[in-house]
């Protein structure tokens, strides 16, 4: 893959850094506060966004071998992913074709998936291969009673699943070429170091923070934000966005472009609509924290599973450093970001504000909320046409 797009973004930021400027959106945007608190809208978001667009449910390194599986319940839909004997990732509704019981939980590895209720068994491709006491059960066509497959795509070491078994949405169109940029991380050979789940506010309150560098030198002044710039440039591929401070490339100014390290070119925060953030760190060696955000049971709740992925298998010393970095990030998110977000949620629910503001320096948030509205308004036949394909925009809201 060409690195020309990454180099162009680095040049763009170097030019802004030299002038002390950033790209600005045309105007300040007002978002109704009720968008964060209305239970009816929240249910629509789950149905029309999270159950219709591809969700990034796993990193490839979570399913390295045939038979590896991961089961979860995003927005209440029981699903599991597995890698078959040919190395292909498959996704299914986690529901036995006999009486609907969930077959798997958590993670593991198995050649056959056996329902814990009555013992029906399925192979790695979802086919029904065994009926307990079949001679007494009665005659059925096994080929018609396999697991229900879900649309799935593995790209750049990441796995996307659509929760609607009947969806015709083109996952590649949705990704808008963004996955090819993510491929420069090289996630196909990375390792999962550790994961954990933290509770947070409304999913959009939480996601706003991942797109926001404006708060870093204030909210995080004593942790990760001390001395950090509040400036940010945004780059969009359809609904997906990269956010980065212009000064993050300053050290490259004296180097020829041919010597710009890929790790430096990939710095910043890469967000994947509607619920993923990937941020780079060096705790224990080159690493990222992949944050997987999902709506909770009520409008004011969400959960975020944080995955600390490492480029190399850590030594004992690196493991200690990675543990320290991951612990710090837990504090930053839980005790700074989400604590603030939960209080913000309470204030909005009390109708303290009719609207919230996204400034000209916050075009990422403007863009995100624009895409939320566009997808909510689109019917199934219009959904694929929303995504712009392999095209980058920058500097202002595009939603």
The CATH number for 308's domain is 3.90.380.10
Please give the sequence-ordered ranges of beta strands (E in DSSP) within 140-272, or none if there are none: 149-150, 152-155, 158-161, 191-200, 233-237, 240-244, 269-272
The CATH number for 102's domain is 2.102.10.10
Task: Give the pLDDT of residue 286.
Answer: 97
Q: Which residues does residue 302 pair with via DSSP β-bridges, in sequence order? A: 200, 295
Task: Give the pLDDT of residue 266.
Answer: 97
Q: What percent of the chain has pLDDT over 90?
A: 94
- Domain-terminating residue out of 168, 191, 226: 168
Angle between helices 338-349 and 203-210 (to 10 degrees): 130
Say whether 397 sits in a helix, a strand or coil. coil
Instruction: Please state the pTM of the whole predicted model.
Output: 0.95
**Assigned token pair, 335:** 């005790």
Residue 82 lies in a domain: yes
> Does one domain contain both 149 and 198?
no
**Assigned token pair, 67:** 């038979």
Q: Which domain holds residue 383?
A: 4-53+172-394
Task: Give the pLDDT of residue 228.
Answer: 86
**What domain count does the chain have?**
2
Average pLDDT for 195-209: 98
Radius of gyration of the chain (CA): 22
> Does one domain contain both 83 and 230?
no
Task: Give the pLDDT of residue 389.
Answer: 56
Average pLDDT for 283-288: 97
* Interval 234-261: pLDDT, tens: 999 999 999 999 999 999 999 999 999 9
Q: Does the pLDDT at position 195 exceed 60?
A: yes
* Interval 108-158: pLDDT, tens: 999 999 999 999 999 999 999 999 999 999 999 999 999 999 999 999 999
Q: Does the pLDDT at position 394 exceed 70?
A: no
> Does one domain contain both 309 and 383?
yes
> Does one domain contain both 155 and 269?
no
């Amino acid at each position: 893959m060409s690195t020309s797009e990454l180099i162009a973004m680095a040049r763009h930021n170097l030019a802004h850094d030299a002038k002390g400027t950033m790209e600005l959106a045309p105007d300040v945007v007002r978002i109704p506060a009720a968008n964060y608190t209305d239970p009816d809208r929240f249910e629509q978001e789950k149905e029309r966004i999270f159950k219709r667009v591809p969700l990034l449910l796993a990193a490839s390194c979570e399913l390295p071998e045939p038979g590896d599986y991961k089961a979860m319940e995003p927005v209440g839909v029981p699903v599991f992913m597995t890698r078959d004997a040919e190395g292909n990732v498959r996704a299914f509704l986690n529901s036995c074709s006999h009486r609907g019981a969930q077959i798997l939980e958590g993670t593991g590895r198995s050649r056959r998936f056996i329902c814990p209720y009555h013992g029906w068994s399925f192979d790695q491709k979802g086919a029904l291969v065994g009926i307990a006491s079949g001679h007494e059960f009665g005659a059925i066509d096994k080929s018609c009673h396999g697991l229900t497959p879900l649309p799935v795509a593995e790209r750049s070491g990441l796995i996307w699943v659509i929760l609607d078994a009947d969806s015709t949405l083109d996952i590649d169109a949705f990704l808008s070429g963004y996955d090819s940029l993510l491929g420069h991380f090289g996630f196909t050979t990375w390792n999962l170091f550790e994961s954990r789940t933290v509770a947070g506010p409304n999913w959009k309150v939480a996601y706003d923070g991942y797109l926001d560098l404006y708060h870093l030198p204030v909210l995080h002044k004593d942790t990760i934000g001390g001395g950090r710039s509040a400036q940010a440039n945004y780059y969009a591929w359809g609904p997906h966005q990269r956010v980065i401070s212009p000064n993050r490339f300053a050290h490259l100014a004296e180097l020829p472009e041919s010597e710009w390290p890929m790790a430096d070119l990939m710095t910043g925060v890469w967000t994947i609509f509607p619920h993923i953030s990937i941020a780079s760190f060096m705790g224990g060696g080159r690493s990222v924290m992949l944050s997987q955000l999902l709506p909770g049971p009520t409008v004011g709740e969400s959960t975020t599973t944080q995955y600390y992925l490492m480029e190399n298998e850590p030594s004992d010393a690196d493991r200690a450093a990675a543990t320290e970095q991951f612990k710090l990030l837990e504090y930053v998110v839980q005790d700074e970001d989400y604590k603030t977000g939960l209080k913000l949620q309470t204030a909005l629910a009390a109708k303290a504000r009719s609207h919230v503001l996204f400034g000209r320096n916050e075009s990422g948030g403007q863009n995100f909320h624009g895409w939320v509205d566009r997808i909510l308004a689109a019917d199934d036949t219009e959904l694929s046409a929303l995504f712009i394909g392999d095209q980058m925009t920058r500097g202002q809201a595009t939603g």
